[in-house]
Each structure stands twice: as structure tokens, then as C-alpha cells.
Structure 1
Amino acid sequence: MSQFYPKAILAALVSLGTVPAFAEQVSADTGVWSGSLGVVNKYVYRGSEENDKPAVQAGLEYAHNSGVFAGYWGSMLNYDPTDDTQSHGFEHDFYVGYGRELNENWSYKSQITAYVYQGGGSVYNEDRSEKRRTTGVDFIQDISYKDLTASMAVLLSDVNYGNAGDVYLNATYSYALPYDVSLNSSLGVSVFNDSRDDSLLTTTEDVVFTEARLGLSKPIADTGFEIAADYVWGGKDREGEQMDDNVVVGLTYSF
């Protein structure tokens, strides 16, 4: 493991001591601030290993009473999409959206999320005649009934990892167990658009099982910390390649 990872993890853990002071000031009459800081043994997103080493992840969100919200989430990576010589990078997710509770059981949320990677820029084919940006934008629609959420994410632009029009369908369900433990599950399916393929991106699969998750989570008393562990069954990517199964364990502090 490079020195980059332990130094970053240590800095994040030390900073937890300063978070409560900030958390006391996060509420306002017109809205609420919230945030999180955590460490996972690996970062797996839609079945793919974005980081197979320990990763620090953090987020901050402001939710207005009108239903409008905006926020940021980031994670350490073990690659830089524009530089093959790098063994580390960072993913920055910026989002804005609107959501409301319709009644005590039903709610919905719509948002736009931009995925920005360390280094930014573009990737090129061998003769540099074609290029694709690494920054992608999703439109995401969630509909929730009690503890069940159905989600659809549509990629809005061609990027190095996908085509505009790619759709990711996901369902999550959380079930409360005794002793304040939650049983969490999810299932994801990808619908790929092959009409925009080029020398940088090839699609051989139309619809694939992407991932399934089953795990447990539990808050640690009233400290703001939560520990979680998931088993992730990997599906296939757009070229039909089988993705690995993984165990993801994490500790998160929320405020």
C-alpha cells in the first residue's frame, strides 16, 4: 500500500474530533446541513471495484425546507482515469435536486449528479483521433415506499465509461432487526445503449445483472458512528465480463 492511503486515513480520523463543534451549527430556520465521514475497506460501485484498498469517503449536504437540496460526496480511488501511471485518485460527486414526502409512506427525489475525477480531462484512442471526457452526469429519480426505494439513473453524456442513454435500475430495502440492527439489501440492473459505441467504448450486452448486496448495519450507541458490512455479488459489465464478489466493511460518522 502506498503512503498516500495511510496518511489520508489518519488525517480523516483525526479530523473527527473537530466535527462535533461544526455539527452544533448546522441547523437553520430555512434548512438543515448534514454530513458524513467514513472509512471502508474497499469502494465498490455498481459491482465494479473503484478502490480495492481502504478508502476515506466524505459528504456534505444542505436541504432547504422547500425540498431543494444540494451536496457533495467524495471517495479515494486506486486509479486516475486520465493517467495509467497513477495508483491513486479521487472521485468528486456534486449534486442538486428536489424531493418531498407525499405522506407518511410515500416520498420521491429527483436529482442531477456530476461525477468529477482527479485530473479531469479526457481519454484518447491510440492514434488520438477520438476522445471521451471522464466527467459524467446522471439524472436520478427515486421513489420510496416506507423502507423500499426504487431508483433509475440515466447517463446524460458520452464518457469514457458509458454512453449517453445508459440506464441503471436499482431497488433497495432495509428491514429493522432487534438491538437496533438493520438488514439491508439491494439489486441493480444495467440497460446499455450501444448506438454511440466507438473505438474507445464497446457494448456487447443490452441488459445485465450488475450487482446484489446483502448486509447489516448498526449505530454505535449515540455517538454518531455506524458500522456496516455488506456482501456484494458482482454481475457483468457492458462487455459481458464477470465482476468479482466482494465483502465491504465500513465505519461512518454522521452529523
Structure 2
Amino acid sequence: MPGSNPSPRQAFPPISGEDVLMKMKQIVACAALVAASSVAAPAFAGATGNVGVFSDYMFRGVTQTGGAAVQGGLDYAFDSGFYLGTWGSNLNFAGSGGDGTEVDFYTGYAGKVGDLGFDVGALYYYYSEAEETAPATSPDTLELYAGLTYGPVGVKYYYTSEYFGTDKSASYVNFTLAQPLTETLTLTANIGLNDGDGVKAAFGDSYIDYSLGLAKSLDAGFTATFQIVTTDQDPAYGGGPDSDSPKVVFGLKKVFDL
């Protein structure tokens, strides 16, 4: 998230951690679709957990740890299509000099209309490190999101009235691809558009983040991931001197039923 500020992150746990059930389910929608009589509730009802280790925690193209991350979450999906969950990770914001924890809380509704998947909800980011590094400017943030998926492609829109550590609004539009190559290997790609006064206050300007990776399903519910992540940020601004340099992220996670 906001580069040199002790504020946080985005979406970018896609494969590097943001791989919580929610972050996989957040493929969102329009209110008109929710009202359609042909809406079907998703098939994933019940409780699940997830835990993973990653070489870095990248959020919307920006590192949140500058090193290894341990992450995990709990999710519950109802037969009706409503769901809720929580997810956490260790943190070490660049330049803050402090260690902390991020804990996300989210709830929403997901379903399908024919072959079109949708998801709408709210996501709250809580940062324990904020109490130590920036008590006057809390990065804790509430985002609303809505998204759609069709086959291997998806788009999701996020909006907040107070972007991480600022009092300004911002939006994030995320385009994703998850294309199976074999029964156990999936190609993943992401393009994210970060815009709004909050983003400009944190980074000096709007920016785009990109990622390209592979996810390999292993035995016993494990998944190994590999990603190359970068942005088009100007290193002279808040992203830091290496903000536009590609980063390689490796991970291993496990999803399990409860």
C-alpha cells in the first residue's frame, strides 16, 4: 500500500496470500443481477480454513513485509450464498521500522446467473502496526467491492472513502485470469488500476500493478504458487526506489475443510 507511508496495502494477495477463499470468491456483481430470479446460490457451503507461507506479501503490487509472510484465514459460506470470513498476515511496512499484523474481516453475497458469477460485499482491513508507527493517521480501511466472473476471466471493483492512512477516496479495478493448463497447473494473471485522490496522496500519482504466475495443485490440499509482480509507479514517488522493478514471489498454501 502507500509506499513510504506506514499505511498498508491491496489486492494483492491474489496468489501471494490474498488467496483466501474470499479473495478467490470476490468476483463480483451488479445489484440488477442479484435481483434476477434465475440467481443460483454458490455450491461451496460450509466452513474452510487456509494457511500459507510466502516469500513476500505483495498487495496491489507493493510489498507489505519486505520478506517472508505467514498467512491464514477462516471462512464460512451459507447455502443461501452469503459468506463471511477473516484473514491475517504478518507485516513490516517499508521504512516503518516496526513489525505488525494485518487482520481482514469481510462479508458478502456470491452466486451465479447462468454462467456468469457475481460477488458483492464489504472488506475491513485492520493493522496492529498502526498503533506503534502512525497513531494519528490510522491505515485501517473499509472497502466495498463488486465483481463478475465468466469462465477463467474476472473483473472486480473496490471503493473506499478513506484510503489507507489518508482521508481521501480511492478505487481499484482488478482484471484477473485463471486459465487451467492441465488438471493440476493453472496460469494466473492480473492487471489492477489504482486511482483516486487517496492513491495520489499516498504514491504521488495513480498507478497500475501487474502479475503473471502459475499455481500447482499438490496432494493433501496443498498448492504451490509462483508470481512475477510489478507496477508502473515512478520510483521518485511513494512506491520507493524499486517500486517499478519486477519481484518474484513463491508460496505454499493449504486449504482444508472444518
Q: TM-score with structure 1 length normalisation?
A: 0.73
Letter in 2 for 1:63: A
Tell which has more relative contact order, 1 or 2 (C-alpha 8 A, sep 6+). Answer: 2
Bigger shift: residues 52-61 or 228-237:
228-237
- Kindly indicate whether the alpha-carbon contact (under 8 Å) linking 2:160 and 2:169 is maintained by their aligned counterparts in 1: yes
- Residues 118, 68 of structure 1: alpha-carbon distance in 2 compared, 3 angstrom cutoff: same
- Residues 66, 202 of structure 1: alpha-carbon distance in 2 compared, 3 angstrom cutoff: closer
- Kindly indicate whether the alpha-carbon contact (under 8 Å) linking 2:50 and 2:255 is maintained by their aligned counterparts in 1: yes
Letter in 1 for 2:222: F
Letter in 1 for 2:123: T
Aligned twin of 2:58: 44
**Distance of 2:82 and 2:59 partners within structure 1:** 26
Aligned twin of 2:221: 224
SS in structure 1 of the partner of residue 233 of structure 2? coil
Q: CA deviation at 1:123?
A: 2.8
- Kindly indicate whether the alpha-carbon contact (under 8 Å) linking 2:66 and 2:93 is maintained by their aligned counterparts in 1: no
- Residues 240, 41 of structure 1: alpha-carbon distance in 2 compared, 3 angstrom cutoff: closer
Correspondence for 2:145 among 140, 148, 173:
140
- Residues 91, 234 of structure 1: alpha-carbon distance in 2 compared, 3 angstrom cutoff: same
Q: CA deviation at 1:164?
A: 3.8
- Kindly indicate whether the alpha-carbon contact (under 8 Å) linking 1:67 and 1:100 is maintained by their aligned counterparts in 2: yes
User: Unaligned 5+ residue runs, structure 1?
Assistant: 1-29, 125-130
Does residue 99 (structure 1) correspond to residue 97 (structure 2)? The answer is: no
Aligned twin of 2:196: 192
Aligned twin of 1:11: none
- Residues 204, 134 of structure 1: alpha-carbon distance in 2 compared, 3 angstrom cutoff: closer
Q: CA deviation at 1:208?
A: 2.4
Correspondence for 1:76 among 87, 90, 96:
90
- Residues 48, 202 of structure 1: alpha-carbon distance in 2 compared, 3 angstrom cutoff: closer
- Residues 235, 31 of structure 1: alpha-carbon distance in 2 compared, 3 angstrom cutoff: same
- Residues 38, 192 of structure 1: alpha-carbon distance in 2 compared, 3 angstrom cutoff: same
Letter in 2 for 1:102: V
Correspondence for 1:177 among 176, 181, 185:
181
SS in structure 1 of the partner of residue 213 of structure 2? strand
**Distance of 1:91 and 1:171 partners within structure 2:** 24
Q: CA deviation at 1:244?
A: 3.2
**Distance of 2:163 and 2:97 partners within structure 1:** 24
Aligned twin of 1:89: 100
Q: CA deviation at 1:155?
A: 1.3
Q: CA deviation at 1:204?
A: 4.0
Q: CA deviation at 1:234?
A: 2.3
- Kindly indicate whether the alpha-carbon contact (under 8 Å) linking 1:37 and 1:57 is maintained by their aligned counterparts in 2: yes
Q: CA deviation at 1:102?
A: 1.2
Does residue 114 (structure 1) correspond to residue 101 (structure 2)? The answer is: no
> Over aligned residue pairs, what C-alpha RMSD do you find?
2.6
Aligned twin of 2:15: none
Percent of paired sites with the same residue: 25
Letter in 1 for 2:110: G
Q: What's the CA shift string for 1:17-51, capped at 9, x where partnerless?
A: xxxxxxxxxxxxx9411121000011111011101
User: Unaligned 5+ residue runs, structure 2?
Assistant: 1-43
**Distance of 2:190 and 2:244 partners within structure 1:** 17
- Kindly indicate whether the alpha-carbon contact (under 8 Å) linking 1:62 and 1:70 is maintained by their aligned counterparts in 2: yes
Letter in 2 for 1:113: L
**Number of residue pairs aligned between Structure 1 and Structure 2:** 208
Structure with greater Cα Rg: 1
Q: CA deviation at 1:190?
A: 1.1
**Distance of 2:188 and 2:139 partners within structure 1:** 31
Aligned twin of 2:248: 247
Aligned twin of 2:212: 214
Q: TM-score with structure 2 length normalisation?
A: 0.73
